[in-house]
Amino acid sequence: MRNIHTKLPNVSTTIFTVMSKMANDYKAINLSQGFPNFKTDKKLIDLVTIGMQKGHNQYAPMPGLLSLRKVIVEKTNALYNSDYHPETDITITSGATQAIFTIISAFIHPGDEVIIFKPAYDSYEPSIELFGGTIIPIQLSAPSFTIDWKEVASKITSKTKMIIINTPHNPSGTVLSKNDMLQLEALLKNTDIILLSDEVYEHIIFDGQEHQSIARFPGLAERAFITASFGKTFHTTGWKMGYCIAPKDLMTEFRKVHQFNVFCSNHPVQHALAAYLKTPEHYLSLPNFYQEKRDVFLSLIKDSKFSYIPAAGTYFQLLDYTAITDESDVAFAERLTKEHKIASIPVSVFNLNQQDDKVLRFCFAKTEDTLKRAAEILCNI
């Protein structure tokens, strides 16, 4: 046996891979891993082809194509009244996951403390651990998942280097309010704490609510990275394209690592995105588009034994199954996939000490036909 001194002793294969594989193996409808099952806009695909045919097939500039950076910064400044600059404050990345990993690797030294909120997207913790950071988890409670900012204040020490927030929130589907952001802003005043604000679902928010980007709050923006994902916004999770935005001094540090991590991201796709983003409708239509899917899904399962609070954002809906069984969420998710042919994500895997609130996460970024077939199964349970 080879003796491997693992850097991640507590990490196994991510739940997204486990559940998607189980869905395939058992021919179940896959509402587990978050990705759309409908087609990507042909216009965007054609733009990538044009980018390749025009010969943009070699390395892109290290921070990303300037025309793409410009259009993103213009969009961000227009939406959130911020003041970012395309030359210095944005880098195009190979998905938000790479941005998150690179931010953590650039700033976290051994012994630095990073506050995260559980349930948390599963890439944060291993990334922190790899660079010797100490994770300070704060468990949020279902079903509201609201943050108690007094509790956060009590966890801040002289070693706190970073706080990671995520709104709209995966997996809970909740969003942070303006009041949350103001409280966070007050809390971080006069500190050197860096904020990582994971906003990959910024355009997937419902019921007329406005996304509270940290870019709207100068006291937060001055210390923060925003991470974003074109996979989520343009139904292209397989392209692994995203970006991050931050003030110049933070971004300079980010690029020191980024250039040796990936150097640059996919070049023809950057040309395509730069052209596609010129039509704001392409992202401003998302709230209605996904709200309709959420509402179709929820109306179809309203007579089932599952209970729920409608998701306020993201394309995930939590369903509480306490009226059905007292099985663990992991066991129930497995049984649903194998016996009932529908795959979901057990939320406990994202919780502190695998706390089991008996809720499963279902992805509704699916065609109406898929949602109907899924709902039929759920109503029979």
Contacting residues toward ligand PMP, per CB under 6 A: 34, 95-97, 121, 166, 170, 198, 200, 229, 231-232, 237, 242
Name the residue nearer to ligand GLN (CB basis): 20 or 82. 20
CB of 366 to ligand GLN, least distance (A): 13
77 contact choice in ligand GLN, ligand PMP, none (CB below 5 to 8 Å, kind-dependent): none
Q: Is 131 in the site for ligand GLN (CB under 6 A)?
A: no
Between 112 and 198, name the residue whose CB sits nearer to ligand PMP.
198
- Pick what 33 binds: ligand PMP, ligand GLN, none; C-beta below 5 to 8 Å, kind-dependent: ligand GLN
Which partner in ligand GLN, ligand PMP, none is near 16 (CB below 5 to 8 A by kind)? ligand GLN
Contact (CB, 8 A) for 29 and 358: no
Query: Smaller CB distance to ligand PMP: residue 56 or 232?
Result: 232
Give the x-and-dash track for 142-181 against ligand GLN (CB under 6 A): ----------------------------x-----------
Q: Which does 96 bind (CB under 5 to 8 A by kind): ligand GLN, ligand PMP, none?
A: ligand PMP
Q: Where are the beta strands (DSSP E) in 140-260?
A: 160-166, 194-198, 224-229, 242-245
Report the C-alpha gap between 144 and 122 in whole angstroms.
20
Using rule CB under 6 A, residue 93 touches ligand GLN? no
Cβ 225 to ligand GLN shortest distance, Å: 18
Query: Closer to ligand GLN at the Cβ: 86 or 313?
Result: 313
Peptide bond into 171 cis (omega under 30): yes
Which residue, 195 or 200, is less far from ligand PMP as judged by CB? 200
313 is a site residue for ligand GLN (CB under 6 A): no
Beta bridge partners of 198: 166, 227
CB of 21 to ligand GLN, least distance (A): 11
Count Cβ neighbours within 10 Å for each residue of 76-91 and write b for 16 or more, e otherwise. Answer: beebbebebebebbbb
Adjacent-strand bridge partners of 162: 114, 194
Report the C-alpha gap between 171 and 346 in whole angstroms. Answer: 10
Amino acid making up residue 43: K
Q: Residue 6: name the closest of 106, 110, 126, 179 by CA.
A: 126
Nearest to ligand PMP of 86, 242 (CB atom): 242
Number of alpha carbons in the 13 Å side-chain half-sphere of residue 156? 19
Q: Is 118 in the site for ligand GLN (CB under 6 A)?
A: no
Q: What single-letter amino acid sits at 59? A: Y
Binders of ligand GLN in range 34-63 (CB under 6 A): 34
Q: Residue 37: which of 285, 293, 337, 287 has the closest Cα? A: 293
| 3-state secondary structure labels for all residues of 199-229 | CCCCCCECCCCCCCCHHHCHHHHCCEEEEEE
Is 369 within 8 Å of 296 (Cβ atoms)?
no
Give the CB-nearest residue to ligand PMP: 95
Minimal CB distance residue for ligand GLN:
34
Give the residue carrying structure tokens 């944060």: 124
Least separation in angstroms between CB 307 and ligand GLN: 22
Nearest to 348 by CA among 119, 174, 138, 23: 119
* Contacts of ligand GLN in 196-225 (CB under 6 A): none
> According to the binding rule CB under 6 A, does residue 33 interact with ligand GLN?
yes
Cβ nearer to ligand PMP, comparing 91 with 97: 97
Nearest Cα neighbor of 356 from 313, 317, 325, 314 is 325
Nearest C-alpha neighbor of 262 from the set 60, 88, 71: 60
The HSE-up count of residue 241 (CA atoms within 13 Å, CB side) is 22
By CB under 6 A, name the binding residues for ligand GLN: 14, 16, 33-34, 170
